[in-house]
Amino acid sequence: MSELRAVIAQARRIVVKIGSSSLTGDDGRLSEDAVGRLADALAAERSRGRQVILVTSGAIAAGIGPMGLPARPRDLELQQAAASVGQGILIAAYSAAFARHGLTVGQVLLTTEDMVRRTHYGNAQRALNRLLELGIVPIVNENDTVATDEIRFGDNDRLAALVATVAHADALVLLTDVDGLYTAAPDTPGAERIDDVKAPEDVAGIDISRRGSALGTGGMITKLEAASLATASGVAVVLASADDVADAIAGRHVGTLFHITGKRDTTRLQWLAHAAKIRGGFVLDDGAVRAVKGRKASLLAAGVVEVQGAFEAGEPVELLTRAGAAVARGFAGFSAEDAARMKGLSTDALREKLGEHFAHALIHIDDLVVL
Ligand SMILES: Nc1ncnc2c1ncn2[C@@H]1O[C@H](COP(=O)(O)OP(=O)(O)O)[C@@H](O)[C@H]1O
Ligand SMILES: N[C@@H](CCC(=O)OP(=O)(O)O)C(=O)O
């Protein structure tokens, strides 16, 4: 047996993500065999004392057959309906497969907001922790039936990266229908599998433009984004074929290993900096720009001269200089409407004029990322 990848072999808490393409048979329906094989491998890890969270795609794919659809639907409403039908089928298949090993599963359906808002992600974190403490296998998917185009991840790769960070996992295993990252689409002549990705530059020249399978969504693009988010947050990533799940989790030499590049716990801010859809902005006076950039302080209402856009509390906003240059991003602590009443006021004035509820920073320091 080839050498072990220690970082994976020693991981105590692992997030395993499996894609739609690995869960469906040639007829496009959910493959109970594939579900069974995965459950067998994960149950074996559990019996070795490791904690496993499964992030599974396949709700939409599982809904295609029962709804009599010819292929994966493209429009959002049909996808929502297919996910609603398919998610039940998916979780029933996992419940039965894990029950064979005496294990209970718990369904966790998440949206982007549950993962990135400071006020929300603690909830998801506590729920996942408690499920794991109780010996239950959390089975996570995006809440596709209610997620609208604007707020959805759409693919589960990035969701899995965020789950891995929020749950403080040590490793993330991305299972797909190809046995690793190749230097070009795997069927291109001369394309070679890459064993290790040590830094983001290692993947800079790689062709990942080919879209994925008919049932999968993101292809390699979202997998690399997920790997980059996770490794930047202290989570090692293995990208491997679903057929190699046991070897991949054990840390044997399969697939592509993405080495850790950064510290734990920064994923939601990375998301904010690079991926989040911005809902509005705060124009800052010069002192506030200096405070946010230099001292990395919370954004106080006193330093805001203008509020732009229509956003709710918790939504991503940009912090701008008077000249319109973006200096930071943050999750707004208040809605645009409230912020417009608060702007320019000191904390004491806020308390006096608007009440205690408003005597807080417009953006908490933990919710800010300087660009
Ligand atoms: N450079 C590359 N290396 C490996 N696979 C690639 C590359 N570029 C594109 N792909 C494609 O990405 C696909 C996997 O993505 P996808 O179908 O979305 O999987 P999943 O359903 O598991 O999320 C592979 O089948 C492969 O054809
Ligand atoms: N949440 C969706 C997953 C979307 C999707 O297809 O993702 P993937 O196969 O991982 O690229 C579902 O369950 O159908």
- 357 alpha carbon – ligand 2 mean position (Å): 40
Ligand closest to Cα of 221 equals 1
Ligand 2 proximal residues by C-beta, below 6 Å: 19-21, 57-61, 83, 141-142, 144, 155-157, 216-218
Asked whether the predicted pLDDT for residue 2 surpasses 60, the reply is: no
pLDDT of residue 213: 62
Asked whether the predicted pLDDT for residue 1 surpasses 50, the reply is: no
pLDDT of residue 87: 96
Residue 264 — pLDDT band, cuts 50, 70, 90? low
Residue 292 — pLDDT band, cuts 50, 70, 90? very high
- If one residue of 22, 60, 91, 139 were mutated to test the ligand 2 pocket, choosing by the most ligand atoms within 8 A of its CB, it would be 60
Do residues 116 and 162 lie in contact, with contact meaning Cβ atoms separated by under 8 Å?
yes
Asked whether the predicted pLDDT for residue 216 surpasses 70, the reply is: no
Q: Which of 44-53, 116-125, 195-204, 280-289 has the lowest average pLDDT?
A: 116-125
Please state the domain extents for the chain.
6-268, 278-370
Return the higher-pLDDT residue of 12 and 28.
12
CA distance 9 to 21: 26
Q: Name the phi and psi angles at 164, rounded to 5.
A: -60, -40
Asked whether the predicted pLDDT for residue 3 surpasses 70, the reply is: no
Confirm whether residue 218 is marked as ligand binding.
yes
Residue 166 — pLDDT band, cuts 50, 70, 90? confident
CA distance 136 to 131: 5
Q: Which of 71-85, 104-118, 192-206 has the lowest average pLDDT?
A: 104-118
Do residues 331 and 118 lie in contact, with contact meaning Cβ atoms separated by under 8 Å?
yes
Strands of the 368-370 sheet, one edge to the other: 304-309, 280-284, 316-320, 326-331, 368-370
Asked whether the predicted pLDDT for residue 151 surpasses 50, the reply is: yes
User: pTM for the complete prediction?
Assistant: 0.78
CA distance 45 to 66: 33
pLDDT of residue 312: 85
Asked whether the predicted pLDDT for residue 297 surpasses 60, the reply is: yes
pLDDT of residue 149: 66
Q: Note the pLDDT tens digit of each residue in 168-203.
A: 899 999 999 999 999 998 888 999 999 999 988 888
- Among 3.40.718.10, 3.90.340.10, 3.40.1160.10, 3.90.420.10, what is the CATH number of 6-268? 3.40.1160.10
**Which class would CATH give 278-370?**
mainly beta
The answer to whether the CB of 203 is under 6 A from ligand 1 is no
Confirm whether residue 222 is marked as ligand binding.
yes
Atom 2 of ligand 2, nearest CA residue: 57
Asked whether the predicted pLDDT for residue 217 surpasses 70, the reply is: no
- 110 alpha carbon – ligand 1 mean position (Å): 24
- 155 alpha carbon – ligand 2 mean position (Å): 5
The answer to whether the CB of 217 is under 6 A from ligand 1 is yes
Residues 6+ apart with CB under 8 A from 195: 180, 253, 256, 257
CA distance 152 to 42: 27
- If one residue of 18, 54, 57, 158 were mutated to test the ligand 2 pocket, choosing by the most ligand atoms within 8 A of its CB, it would be 57
